[in-house]
Amino acid sequence: MSHSCKPIGIFDSGAGGLSVLSELLRLMPKEHYIYFADTANCPYGPKPHSDIIKLVDAITKFLLQKNCKLIVVACNTATAAAIDYLRANYPIPFVGMEPAIKPASQNTKTKSIGVLATAGTFKGRLYIETSRKYASDVNVCYQVGEGLVELVETGKANSPEAEELLHRYVDPMIDCNIDHLVLGCTHYPFLKPVLNKILPANVKVIDPSPAVVLQTQRILHTNNLECVKEGNDTFTEVDFYSSGQINVLRQLLENNIEVDLPINVSYTDNVVLRHNL
């Protein structure tokens, strides 16, 4: 295998990173992807950063054993807790989830924005620094989305329970006259159908996944890592691994991801990871 056609690794605490994978497949369908869902340890949000670093380190070692050339940390909480550690300890490029505070703050007309994220994301350096830099003159209504990840992971993203919980979290933001809602967790784009139902028409929902994928493409191009397939060798290859059950991951994939090229998919669940930190 040529260095450039080695796989791109993607990982999340569960199925949320599929929202990032969907954009990667749309923009770069000829790449080979390896997706790891740490379902056995989901959710990451309430966990201490030290525990998340241990989990993420084990996942990274697993992906490096699979010869990944770049790793996308498709989890806001894992990015907040561990991206600095990963970049300091491993030689390959890492792309993390950037809090989309900047575009929301720059484009708001009401000078009021909402941020829905995990507790771990709000505690992270990236969120704190970005908020200070770009949102100092904007009213930021933030809310920890406790319970939302679990609803997505159990296939209940469009359920009455999800609508009830989102109303509880988002209604106070509407009262604060927000016109942008930043999704600070990769699981949350799967809740967009419900959010679009309960949000006023003037509120724009911001999913950071497209910007993260563009950054991934730039890094691949800059480092000569783009995979070039010629002739009839044009298909998309995705290998899915999970530390737990893979049923919801498979269901979300089948219902939410479309690619223009034929896709070869493999699934492996109950992967045991070990860390030595």
Domains of the chain, by residue range, sit at 3-97+210-268, 101-207
141 catalytic residue (yes or no): no
- Catalytic, out of 42, 68, 141, 185: 185
DSSP state string for 205-229: EE-SHHHHHHHHHHHHHHTT-----
> What kind of architecture, by CATH, is found in domain 101-207?
3-Layer(aba) Sandwich (3.40)
Question: Quick one: average pLDDT of 16-21?
Answer: 92
Q: Find the catalytic residue in 75, 141, 176, 227.
A: 75
Identical fold between 3-97+210-268 and 101-207: yes
Q: How confident is the model at residue 217 (pLDDT cuts 50, 70, 90)?
A: very high
Burial 218-227, CB ≥16 within 10 A → b, else e: eebeeeebeb
pLDDT confidence of residue 258 = 62
Please determine, for residue 233, whether its predicted confidence score (pLDDT) is greater than 90. Answer: no
Sorting pLDDT into bands at 50, 70 and 90, what band is 126? confident
Distance CA 50, CA 248 (A): 28
Q: What is the pTM of this model?
A: 0.90
- What's the CATH class of domain 3-97+210-268? alpha beta
**Higher model confidence: residue 269 or residue 219?**
219
pLDDT at 116: 95
8 A C-beta contact, residue 22 and residue 98: no
Q: Mean pLDDT, to the nearest integer, of 159-187?
A: 95
CB atoms < 10 A from the CB of 216, how many? 24
Per-residue pLDDT at 200 = 95
Q: Residue 143 pairs with which residues in a beta bridge?
A: 116
Q: Give the Cα separation of 247 and 234 in Å (integer).
A: 28
Percentage of the chain exceeding pLDDT 70: 92
d(CA 71, CA 93): 7
Is-catalytic flag, 227? no
